[in-house]
Amino acid sequence: MTPDQAQHVIEEALTQVAPDVDTADITPDTDLRDDLGLDSLDFLRFVEILSERTGTKIAEDDYPRLATLASAVKWLAGG
Amino acid sequence: MPALGADMDEGTVLEWLVKPGDQVHKGDIIAVIDTAKSAIDVESFFTGTVERLVTGVGQTVPVGTVLATITETPAGPAAPQPAGLPAEREVPERPAAPQPPGPTAEREAAELPRSAAPRKRGKKIAAAVQAHPPVPISPLIRKRAHELGVDLSELRGSGRGGAVTRADVERAAAERQREVAPKPPSPASSRIRVTPLARRVAVELGVDLAGLTGTGPGGAISEADVRRAAPVGEAAPARETVPVREAVPVREAASTPEAAGRPAAAAARSGAERALTMRQAIGRLMARSKREIPHYYVSNTVDMARSLDWLHERNRALEVSERLVPAALLLKAAALAARKVPDLNGYWLDDQFSPADAVHLGLVISLRGGGLLTPAIHDAADLQLSELMSRMRDLVIRARAGRLRGSELTDATITVTNLGDQGVESVFGVIYPPQVALIGFGKVTERPVAVGGLIGVRPVAVTTLAADHRASDAMTGARYLAALSDLLQRPEEL
């Protein structure tokens, strides 16, 4: 998966979990949980969607890698 | 129009999902109602045939207004018997009814002679009251009578000064049981409660409370229920010949109701309007809570290490969709603790505490657009963690989509607010009347803690309790938080 593809999947997942968030406002450093106000259930759903779309197995220990857009893209793109 | 929560005083029919002639079952969703806070799926309180949709799509009417009439289907012997009523005795008097007598038909019938009789209904009630001078009846006896479905106004007491005793109540129940022979006792009959206002209105209107199905919290009979049961001016004649019961939840979508596409028929509130009405509804309820409920508060810091380790271990092996979040553990523990300390689980009604017989855990869900809803997870103390987790996810999704059911918004027995994800350490909540307690969970943070004489860094969370001092004392609150903490030290038993 390329970084662009990863970013696309992440943005789609976010739109689904938090429809009120405008993905144009998300910068690479945006904290996906705190800045976007995702609670633990939202985040779980987010992880679930990412996992389904990318086929990546995401363990709880991997959650810190999904903290920001930049870190998530890097990780999903296998970087 | 049912009261879908203590903070609702009017509602707008967005959509009818049934039409006249349709068969409905108790619990079927028959309409979508817009309230100040959200669009809500409203369930039928009865099983029967939709007779007439009275309130049209787009109409806004006060709580208690008739939405539709449903003719109840006479139930077979297996059907649950409606909340207890000394109805059977009156059956012979009733005008020829087109339906064979079944338990529900009889319930209808019980009300008919009164409205059909030439004399004023009020008089009959007044006479009954006079015949039995107002000897005080103890709350325990009253409760027992409610459990057994015995109408106290029909009882002649054998105690001192004609006081009704427990034995009188039980005898009356036994007699009724004989008359009604093969009917199984109803689970619902153990839960009849009446608000003081409803009681007063019932006397004014001459409504027999024993024949009513309550729609308030915990099945309490509310003023609206009483008014629904009373004949309304010109609308009454129909009910004098046919046992039609006015049910709350049905209305008229002139054309074919389409179950899909929610706000198709009538427009739901716009975002800005919704935000305003939401604030107003929350404001009214919270102001009432602070005005009426003498809150006391207690808090405790709970070591979360065991719970979180256990959770982490459990989740490691699971697919994302099966994983639990810490909130699931907290909710389960909160529900179990409520069962251990039942004085906090129930309602303050009628100037006394009525304990609830199940733990329906209200969950404060904040909506992404602002505001909140507090639907209940039914029987939360009995659910497996995985089941509790999926109910919680489901409730959050439906709360945000405006797809909650009326029953979910009215019968919480105790409420939990979890601000852990919002980064605050503790939250002292405002109780949802008529409930008597609200539990708050703060964020799990790592703190230096003394364990076994050594300082270690442990994840801890602050748990709080706001409780109604009329119903309990701080000692009770302290026991609750201690029980909660204990439960969280043994996550494998949750």
In this structure, what CATH number is given to the domain that contains residue A36? 1.10.1200.10
Determine, yes or no, domain membership for B76. Answer: no
Q: B16 lies in which domain range? A: 1-67+248-268
Q: Answer yes or no: is pLDDT of B387 > 90.
A: yes
Distance between A48 CA and the closest CA of chain B, angstroms: 6
How many angstroms separate the CA atoms of B133 and B129, rounded? 7
Among candidate residues B140, B468, B43, the one with its CA nearest the CA of residue B295? B468
| Residues of chain A found within 8 Å of residue B393, distances taken between Cβ atoms | 41, 44-45
| Token couple for B397 | 């999704």
ipTM for the complex? 0.84
Of the two residues B67 and B138, the one the predictor is more confident about is B67
Determine, yes or no, domain membership for B369. Answer: yes
Determine, yes or no, domain membership for B180. Answer: yes
How many angstroms separate the CA atoms of B38 and B269, rounded? 9
In a shared domain, residues B257 and B284: no
- Report whether A9 contacts A53 (CB < 8 A): yes
A58 close contact with B: CB closer than 8 A: yes
In a shared domain, residues B302 and B193: no
Q: Which amino acid is at B36?
A: A
In a shared domain, residues B110 and B144: yes
| Token couple for B379 | 């029987």
What is the CA B51 to chain-centroid distance, rounded? 26
Query: A68 — alpha (psi -120 to 50), left (phi > 0) or beta?
Result: beta
How many angstroms separate the CA atoms of A40 and A60, rounded? 12
In a shared domain, residues B204 and B314: no
B368 close contact with A: CB closer than 8 A: yes
| Residues of chain A found within 8 Å of residue B319, distances taken between Cβ atoms | 51
Determine, yes or no, domain membership for B5. Answer: yes
In sequence order, what are the beta bridge partners of A31? A68
> Last residue of a domain, which of B229, B244, B259?
B244
Planar angle of CA A8, A12, A14, nearest 5 degrees: 120
The domain total for chain A is: 1
pLDDT in the model for residue B402: 82
The domain total for chain B is: 3
How many angstroms separate the CA atoms of B435 and B414, rounded? 6
Distance between B407 CA and the closest CA of chain A, angstroms: 23
Q: Give the helix/strand (H/E) hosting B415.
A: strand B414-418
As a whole number, mean pLDDT of residues B13-22 equals: 89
pLDDT in the model for residue B218: 61
| Token couple for B414 | 């105790």
In sequence order, what are the beta bridge partners of B460? B303, B445
Among candidate residues B159, B212, B164, the one with its CA nearest the CA of residue B46? B212
| Residues of chain B found within 8 Å of residue A58, distances taken between Cβ atoms | 320
Distance between B264 CA and the closest CA of chain A, angstroms: 21
**A28-42, B45-59, B452-466: which has the highest mean pLDDT?**
B452-466
Distance between B446 CA and the closest CA of chain A, angstroms: 16
| Residues of chain B found within 8 Å of residue A39, distances taken between Cβ atoms | 421-422
In a shared domain, residues B207 and B294: no
In a shared domain, residues B195 and B293: no
The minimal CB distance from B369 to the residues A20, A44, A59 is found for A20
pLDDT tens-place string over residues B261-309: 443 456 667 778 888 888 999 999 999 999 999 999 999 999 999 999 9
pLDDT in the model for residue B95: 38
| Residues of chain A found within 8 Å of residue B396, distances taken between Cβ atoms | 41
The minimal CB distance from A58 to the residues B320, B369, B420 is found for B320
In a shared domain, residues B231 and B357: no
Buried-exposed string B133-164: b where 16+ CB fall within 10 A, e elsewhere: eeeebeeebbbbbbbbbbbbbebebeeeeeeb
Determine, yes or no, domain membership for B74. Answer: no
Least CA distance to A46: which residue of chain B? B320
pLDDT tens-place string over residues B201-234: 676 676 777 777 777 666 677 777 777 777 554 3
A22 close contact with B: CB closer than 8 A: no
Determine, yes or no, domain membership for B91. Answer: no
pLDDT tens-place string over residues B315-344: 998 888 899 999 999 999 999 999 999 999
In a shared domain, residues B275 and B256: no
The per-residue pLDDT of chain B, averaged, comes to 76
How many angstroms separate the CA atoms of B205 and B197, rounded? 12
- Report whether B250 contacts B445 (CB < 8 A): no
Q: Residue B487: give its domain's CATH number.
A: 3.30.559.10
CB atoms within 10 A of CB B218: 23
Select the residue from B421, B422, B441 to test the A interface by mutation, using most A Cβ atoms within 10 A: B421
In a shared domain, residues B240 and B256: no
The minimal CB distance from A44 to the residues B325, B369, B420 is found for B325
Q: A43 lies in which domain range? A: 3-76
In a shared domain, residues B310 and B172: no
How many angstroms separate the CA atoms of B337 and B483, rounded? 6
- Report whether A63 contacts A24 (CB < 8 A): no
In a shared domain, residues B237 and B292: no
Percent of chain B topping pLDDT 90: 35
| Token couple for A26 | 């998300």
Determine, yes or no, domain membership for B171. Answer: yes
In a shared domain, residues B419 and B401: yes
DSSP structure class, residue B96? P
pLDDT tens-place string over residues B296-312: 999 999 999 999 999 99
Distance between A38 CA and the closest CA of chain B, angstroms: 8
| Token couple for B332 | 């389960």
Pairing of strands B414-418, B361-363: parallel
